């Protein structure tokens, strides 16, 4: 076992938006229909819950019910989300400092670290479930496991649940980011691969990603 300290944090989220006018060729209903055609969902032969939901979105857009269309689109995303068999990641990368929100991060210039330097990783998990802690809240919860492999692929350390991620929210957030900090003071100079695994506490799903690093003298 490496003499290390592990932590994961989850900064707040920031964002802004506005309504916009679209020319006919780029109106959301036109774009949606083009996307459905590309997926084969807009043909008369297509059927199923996703097609039904997409039809509802088009109807709401045609009625200028933008808010209703967005709410229904979220339902469609949830339908796809729930069918994911495992956790996946839209991003997993080394960062220069902890992110301050979803997508608000600065990638690290390289993967080289002096001994004793904390290793900061940013990731965006997808497909997780939600807990119900009460008081009208939802929660996103993971155990985070770490494996360390040497340059030959041999496992040097494997620590389940080195830390946890727990985030309460009033919404079933889909844009969730985790900042993971590894202190691997026991590693000698050389090349290594860190395998990070998130295990969802609210479903049977899990997912992993690999991060190559090099420890310098």
DSSP of 39-88, one letter per residue?
Answer: HT-SSTT--SHHHHHHHHHHHHHHTT-HHHHHHHHHHHHHHHHHH-SS-E
Q: For residue 99, name the pLDDT band (cuts at 50, 70, 90).
A: very high
Indicate whether 7 pLDDT > 80.
Answer: no
Instruction: List the Cα angle 204/86/177 in 5-degree steps.
Output: 95
Please state, in angstroms and rounded to a whole number, the distance separating the CA atoms of residues 16 and 217: 44
Indicate whether 29 pLDDT > 70.
Answer: no
Q: Give residue-wise pLDDT tens across range 104-121.
A: 999 999 999 999 999 999
What is the structure's pLDDT at 46? 52
What is the average pLDDT value for the chain, to the nearest integer? Answer: 85
Q: For residue 42, name the pLDDT band (cuts at 50, 70, 90).
A: very low
Q: Token pair 């899990």 is at which residue?
A: 206
Indicate whether 189 pLDDT > 90.
Answer: yes
Three-state secondary structure call for residue 140:
strand
Q: Poorest-confidence range of 23-27, 84-88, 123-127, 194-198? A: 23-27
| Domains of the chain, each with CATH number or no CATH | 4-13+86-216 (2.60.40.2550), 24-83 (no CATH)
Please state, in angstroms and rounded to a whole number, the distance separating the CA atoms of residues 158 and 64: 54
Contact 159, 146 (CB under 8 A): yes
By percentage, how much of the chain surpasses pLDDT 90? 75
Contact 169, 190 (CB under 8 A): no
Please state, in angstroms and rounded to a whole number, the distance separating the CA atoms of residues 3 and 185: 6
Please state the pTM of the whole predicted model.
0.77
Q: What are phi and psi of 165, to 5 degrees?
A: -125, 125
Which runs of consecutive H residues, i.e. helices, occur in the chain? 28-39, 49-62, 66-83
Report, as an integer, the average pLDDT of 158-168.
Answer: 96
């Amino acid at each position: 076992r490496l003499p290390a300290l592990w932590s994961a944090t989850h900064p707040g989220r920031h964002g802004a938006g506005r309504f916009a006018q679209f020319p006919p060729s780029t109106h959301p209903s036109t774009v949606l229909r083009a996307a459905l055609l590309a997926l084969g969902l807009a043909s008369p032969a297509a059927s199923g819950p996703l097609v039904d939901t997409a039809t509802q979105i088009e109807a709401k857009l045609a009625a200028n019910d933008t808010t209703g269309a967005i709410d229904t689109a979220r339902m469609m995303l949830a339908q796809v989300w729930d069918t994911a068999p495992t956790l996946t990641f839209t991003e997993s990368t080394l960062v220069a400092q902890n992110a301050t929100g979803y997508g608000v991060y600065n990638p690290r210039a390289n993967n080289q670290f002096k001994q004793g330097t904390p290793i900061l990783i940013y990731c965006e998990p997808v497909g997780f479930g939600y807990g119900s802690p009460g008081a009208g809240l939802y929660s996103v919860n993971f155990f985070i496991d770490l494996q360390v492999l040497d340059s030959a692929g041999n496992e040097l350390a494997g620590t389940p649940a080195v830390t946890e991620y727990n985030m309460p929210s009033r919404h079933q957030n889909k844009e969730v980011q985790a900042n993971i900090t590894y202190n691997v003071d026991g590693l000698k100079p050389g090349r290594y691969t860190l395998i990070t695994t998130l295990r969802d506490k609210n479903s049977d799903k899990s997912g992993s990603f690999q991060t190559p690093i090099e420890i310098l003298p």
